[in-house]
Structure 1
Amino acid sequence: MFRMCTDVTAPDAKAKTNGSASIVRDADWALNRQEPESQERGPYSLASDEAILEEGRDRILDIAEKYIRHIGHRKTTVADIASDLGTSRANVYRFFPTRAAINNSVCARIVEKVTEIAFSIARTDAAASKKLVELLNILHRHSRMTLMEAKPIHELFVAAMNENWATMNAHNQRIRAILEAIIRQGLQTGEFQVEDADHATRGVITAFLPFFHPVLLEQRVQEGEDIAEAAHVQIRFIMRALGKSDWRSAEASEVMISA
């Protein structure tokens, strides 16, 4: 049904995709530019060409994400994307060599939003304990909401984890680095009482993994567990393990997950 609604053979659909097709055509022209011509037109032309290319990539990913959210990444094809854009599959392949590369890039776009939130938490002036609890909550809440409200994206994340996609690995490394920075802050201020920040970070990730790893979280939900309460309990355990026995009376308690 969704595919029929986006059939570009309909006059209205053609009108809607004119802008997208133009963007991709312009970007394709920039890809085909010869180097000597680029040099003659100067550095500002090169910058302009790069902007056109970036806009073309973004438009392709916009359409790809729309399809993935509706029918899932396994059913979305390059032909779907090209048809919606009013261009050819060959033009889409000029930007992304495979459908897997498109899936990878869509995944990167979505998890980047989580990374940005994590960075914003780490940059605040709050106590390390509050930052840590808030970050754990964000990781859990995002995974839980994706599972419950955006199943096709959850399935994309499951594939990314199971198939070891580079973008998901990079995201996990960034989150790990943010967690470690927060724990180091807690050590420096005396909030946390652990010997090594690196080991403590590994311990926190291992302890909380079942509450944000897409596969493990889904298993717990399927088993009928009260996942919000379980996350509360696990955060209490983590904070006590870090030596924050009075965490419930600290600012950190203000950002606990709603039951």
Structure 2
Amino acid sequence: MRPSAITTPSAPAHPTRQVIIETARTLLRRFGEEKLTVVDIARALGMSHANVYRFFKTKAEILDAIIEQWLEKVEAFVDGIARRPGSAAQRLEAVVLELHRKRRQKLLEDAEVYATFQRLFELRPDAAARHRQKLLNVFHRLLAEGLASGEFTAVDCREAATVLKDATTAFLHPLMISATGVEETESRARNVVRYIVAGFSSPPPRANRRDSVRHLAGRRTASRPA
């Protein structure tokens, strides 16, 4: 099945369209994305498949809509964490840990559905790229806030956001999460974030380095015998 491009509808969704999406999401558990058909969806809804085609041209469009809504929920979840009160460092850590926890919990509670969504996601690289970019934007925004408040020292926020995203991929990518199995990974994720964010933080107040060098040089000169 060739994936179609995902587009966000410009107008509010028709109620029937949403019912079709929800029914298809439920049936994915039973049939999987390969065996699921539009006829299956129509039969479950008690309508003709022609009526389903009024809202979606193909099965691929239905699957795209499922992925789109799933991503919107994840992105709203992450954005909600980023908007909380607290330091930028605390919120960066919370974004990574809570998203990791949410995905890992879904894997442990319903591995079959998790695997199905993972396959759908992999078939749509455009959606995956957009999702990664949105997460990168959240990291960038929090780093910029930390820089503006003086919490972080002079850093390139865009570059730093990319470093943080790359370093936490093992804890946020669905495939990497499933590969860890039952390993305890949250503490590892926390350590990674804290070590990286520590590099962004402003150093504690101290004497100017040049003044310290001059002071030390003066002491050495004074200690020399006349």
Q: Note if 1:133 corresponds to 2:93.
A: yes
Q: TM-score, normalised by structure 2?
A: 0.76
Q: Note if 1:228 corresponds to 2:186.
A: yes
- Going from structure 1 to structure 2, the CA distance change for 1:208 and 1:53 (only over 3 Å counts) comes to closer
The count of residues paired between Structure 1 and Structure 2 equals 195
Structure 2 contact 32–116 (Cα < 8 Å) conserved:
yes
CA distance in 2, matches of 1:52, 1:239: 40
Letter in 1 for 2:142: I
| Residue correspondence of structure 1 range 114-129 to structure 2 within 5 A | 114-129=74-89
Letter in 1 for 2:189: A
Q: TM-score, normalised by structure 1?
A: 0.67
Match of 1:83 among 20, 43, 48: 43
Structure 2 contact 136–161 (Cα < 8 Å) conserved:
yes
Q: Note if 1:178 corresponds to 2:178.
A: no
Per-residue Cα deviation, 1:27-67 (whole angstroms, up to 9, x for no partner): xxxxxxxxxxxxxxxxxxxxxxx989611110100101111
Letter in 1 for 2:80: S
Q: Note if 1:72 corresponds to 2:38.
A: no
| Residue correspondence of structure 1 range 139-218 to structure 2 within 5 A | 139-218=99-178
Per-residue Cα deviation, 1:186-238 (whole angstroms, up to 9, x for no partner): 111122235200000100000000101011121222xx632223222222222
CA distance in 2, matches of 1:168, 1:160: 10
CA distance in 2, matches of 1:87, 1:64: 14
Moved more, 50-59 or 235-244: 50-59
Q: 1:72 is paired with a residue of what secondary structure?
A: helix
Structure 1 contact 192–242 (Cα < 8 Å) conserved:
yes
Q: Note if 1:107 corresponds to 2:67.
A: yes
Rg (Cα) greater in structure: 2
- Going from structure 1 to structure 2, the CA distance change for 1:90 and 1:167 (only over 3 Å counts) comes to farther
Moved more, 92-101 or 233-242: 233-242
- Going from structure 1 to structure 2, the CA distance change for 1:141 and 1:190 (only over 3 Å counts) comes to same
Match of 1:242 among 187, 196, 200: 200
What residue in structure 2 maps to residue 62 of structure 1? Answer: 22
Letter in 2 for 1:92: V
Moved more, 150-159 or 189-198: 150-159
Letter in 2 for 1:140: H
What residue in structure 2 maps to residue 93 of structure 1? Answer: 53
Note the aligned Cα RMSD (angstroms).
2.5
CA distance in 2, matches of 1:144, 1:220: 10
Structure 1 contact 160–168 (Cα < 8 Å) conserved:
no
Q: 2:54 is paired with a residue of what secondary structure?
A: helix
Structure 2 contact 150–202 (Cα < 8 Å) conserved:
no
Structure 1 residue runs without a partner (length 5+): 1-49, 247-259
CA distance in 2, matches of 1:99, 1:108: 14
Question: In percent, how many aligned pairs have the same letter?
Answer: 29
Moved more, 209-218 or 61-70: 61-70
| Residue correspondence of structure 1 range 37-48 to structure 2 within 5 A | none
Structure 1 contact 108–168 (Cα < 8 Å) conserved:
no
Letter in 1 for 2:200: L
Per-residue Cα deviation, 1:162-186 (whole angstroms, up to 9, x for no partner): 3234333333322221121111101
What residue in structure 2 maps to residue 15 of structure 1? Answer: none
